Amino acid sequence: MKVTFELRRTHTLVVGSGAAGLCAAVRLRAEGIDDVRIVTEGLNAGTSINTGSDKQTYYKLSLCGDEPDSPVEMAKTYCSAGGMHGDLALVEAAVSARAFLHLVNLGVSFPTDAFGQFAGYKTDHDPRRRATSIGPYTSREMCRALIRRVKELNIPTDEEEFAVELLTVPNEHATPKQPKRAVGIITLNTSGRWTIYLAENIVFAVGGPGGLYKTSVYPTGHTGAIGLALREEAAAANLTESQFGLASVKHRWNVSGTYMQVIPRVVSTDNDGRNPREFLRDAFGNDASEIGKMDSLLFLKGYQWPFDSRKLQEGSSFIDFLVYRETMEHRRVFLDYKQNPTGFDAAALSEEAKTYLAKSGMTNLNATTPIERLEKMNPAAIQMYREHEIDLYREMLEIAFCAQHNNGGLAGTHWWESINIAHLFPVGEVNGSHGTARPGGSALNAGQVGAFRAAELIQHRYAETTLDVDYALQVAQDRLVQLQTWCETAKTSKTHWRKERENLQYRMSQMGGAMRAMNTLDTALQVTTEDYERLLKDGVAYDGEHDKHEALRNRHLTFAAMTYLNAVSFAVKSGVGSRGSSVVFAPDGNVISENASFRDKILMTQYDSATQSITNHWQSCRPIPESDLWFETVWTTYREGKIY
């Protein structure tokens, strides 16, 4: 079979143009790699440029006031919740100031006082005031500044290209740790044109696995592409650790901050909007003190946004659980700002809620409605939904318990190179550097730091051209024939990619997300594995050349789902219990509490193509490196290039 394609060669290819990929491209140029190219679904696609929150946070070393901070202190914060390597934590801390100031110098206007201090605030899991923000759209403004720089540098950018295959070959300089190397990718565009990209290095910046979940606050259309690397046997870490929380679904947005602090009425309805009821009552009861408790927990959701298993039994995460359970019973859940929860009485609220609301100028709470409180405390919050054609004065806001972020992902070295595939650099959310919990804002920091690290290593270790182009091209062409053959078969498949994806996402949200029960997990894994096998054999139907890439996307999404479920099932069977943003249920429905002995471990997951199986094992966390940092010694080692 002869398949026509375009061939493009570049020294270093950046796949994905979120905040992480864009920064990598800019830094590669700054390091002296001239031949850099970005290939992406679109400069306006992905999470970074399309998302935000009440006050979207960027985490970095504290740069203000007289509170002492240091890279080691910050690394300790990263490691404190468990499941994070100390060396990665130290790098993310040490490089954070540099990466942050890079953004500032590109024009991202993080606020300072009159003396140039970057004022900070405390975010979740943060003992200091390391967090900063430029408002709801921090990551979007980061992207815009980076895109301006990419354009100034004339870095070629191919948009509307969908990577459908990552290409690897045996590593000619094979080490036991890195038996393979990356050599390129294959993309498909919406006209059905194939392109083979061959490159010395691949910066893989494809974002988090948004496409795995039905209830998701990842931007619509952002699916991620971690499955491409997993299929090539890239090792992964902590796939089990993600962040979930309450978000609106019509316009995907976290309902954190004032959206909850004004204590809206929470209502569920049938699918068609009938039979409304305040379902939280079933769990709390109707007497005044229980209603007060419920309303106080709702208030707390404002600044305890991510679901936290430690706050399930008595804390604010119980609200997330109840919302999740209600939607799983095929009911829709809404926040109603037009009226107070039935029986709402300010006197029954917790002292914390009362004090906060009083300080915010909310007197005589009983005489106001949630929308009136929101209008007073944060009118921009109402305006934000109005801009997306949701009028909180007139309609209820539909919400769900949503996937938001994957702390885990591909396993990288402290230079953000894949630990087992040479020349492959997972940066951004697809890199699984984080552990069980992370301080708010550290995802954006990690993306920038990873980009700096990858660019620096590429310049110092991989600037030469070592690729056997003829061999790589042969491998690519063979793959292309397989892809084309698969697409021909898929055309006549009985199931359509849309339906299959819907099923997959529903299953993942129901059984493979934050709420984990052994029996349903096994079912989910079995069904997903069967789906993947069927998908490989029969394909999934698509409508034409314009959506052929979506059928191929189902392949890597289903593979990723299978791998994630496999990891989650292994972790649950290991007895890790409930931790971070996940809860494990025993067969009798009781919550299994955390087994703290797993805190110093990381779950490693990898596909083996020879046996067609996925294996998992626990690895001990490496400690935070210690060094006397004697300047002369550090300088010599640096000059001699031994740090790379």
From CA 197, how far away is CA 185, in angstroms rounded? 5
Distances in whole angstroms, Cα of residue 373 to Cα of each of 263, 294, 454: 9, 18, 47
From CA 518, how far away is CA 85, in angstroms rounded? 28
DSSP SS3 for 200? strand
Residue closer to ligand FAD, measured from CB, 221 or 273: 221
Element (H or E) spanning 282, and its range? Answer: helix 280-284
Least distance in angstroms from the C-beta of 51 to ligand FAD:
4
From CA 506, how far away is CA 469, in angstroms rounded? 42
Residue closer to ligand FAD, measured from CB, 16 or 184: 16
Q: Which two tokens stand for residue 125?
A: 């899991």
CA angle 444, 228, 241 (to 5 degrees): 45
Residue closer to ligand FAD, measured from CB, 95 or 267: 95
Least distance in angstroms from the C-beta of 86 to ligand FAD:
21
Residue closer to ligand FAD, measured from CB, 206 or 517: 206
DSSP SS3 for 511? helix
Residue closer to ligand FAD, measured from CB, 380 or 634: 380
56 phi/psi in degrees, rounded to 5: -70, 130
Closest Cα partner for 607 from 543, 562, 574? Answer: 562
Single-letter amino acid, residue 39? V
From CA 432, how far away is CA 411, in angstroms rounded? 6
Residue closer to ligand FAD, measured from CB, 139 or 242: 139
Closest Cα partner for 206 from 42, 421, 36? Answer: 42
Least distance in angstroms from the C-beta of 429 to ligand FAD:
4
Residue closer to ligand FAD, measured from CB, 444 or 458: 444
Least distance in angstroms from the C-beta of 358 to ligand FAD:
28
268 phi/psi in degrees, rounded to 5: -120, 155
Residue closer to ligand FAD, measured from CB, 97 or 225: 225
Radius of gyration of the chain measured on its C-alpha atoms: 25
Closest Cα partner for 237 from 627, 618, 629? Answer: 618
Single-letter amino acid, residue 321? F
Pairing between β-strand 58-59 and β-strand 131-132 as defined by DSSP bridges:
antiparallel
Residue closer to ligand FAD, measured from CB, 110 or 218: 218
Least distance in angstroms from the C-beta of 15 to ligand FAD:
6
- Footprint of ligand FAD (CB under 6 A): 15-21, 40-42, 45-48, 51, 53, 56-57, 139, 161-163, 205-208, 217-218, 222, 224-225, 254, 404-405, 428-429, 440-444, 447
From CA 69, how far away is CA 420, in angstroms rounded? 34
Least distance in angstroms from the C-beta of 7 to ligand FAD:
18
Beta strands in 337-470, from DSSP E residues, in sequence order: 397-406, 409-410, 421-422, 424-426
From CA 220, how far away is CA 44, in angstroms rounded? 12
CB 176 within 8 A of CB 93: no
Residue closer to ligand FAD, measured from CB, 292 or 432: 432
Residue closer to ligand FAD, measured from CB, 17 or 569: 17
User: Order of strands across the sheet with 242-248?
Assistant: 253-254, 242-248, 397-406, 332-336, 265-269
Residue with tokens 């999470």, as numbered in its chain = 47
Least distance in angstroms from the C-beta of 3 to ligand FAD:
19
Residue closer to ligand FAD, measured from CB, 207 or 513: 207
Least distance in angstroms from the C-beta of 117 to ligand FAD:
21
Residue closer to ligand FAD, measured from CB, 82 or 447: 447
Least distance in angstroms from the C-beta of 173 to ligand FAD:
28
CB 480 within 8 A of CB 7: no
Least distance in angstroms from the C-beta of 227 to ligand FAD:
9
Least distance in angstroms from the C-beta of 438 to ligand FAD:
8
Residue closer to ligand FAD, measured from CB, 42 or 315: 42
- B/e letters for 369-391, b = 16+ CB within 10 Å, e = fewer, are bbbbbbbebbeebbebbeeeebe
Least distance in angstroms from the C-beta of 596 to ligand FAD:
26
Least distance in angstroms from the C-beta of 151 to ligand FAD:
16
Residue closer to ligand FAD, measured from CB, 147 or 603: 147
Least distance in angstroms from the C-beta of 347 to ligand FAD:
34
Least distance in angstroms from the C-beta of 625 to ligand FAD:
24
DSSP state of 239: T
Length of the chain: 644
Distances in whole angstroms, Cα of residue 90 to Cα of each of 261, 542, 588: 35, 46, 42
From CA 199, how far away is CA 35, in angstroms rounded? 10
Burial of 152 (0-12, 13-18, 19+ CB in 10 A): exposed
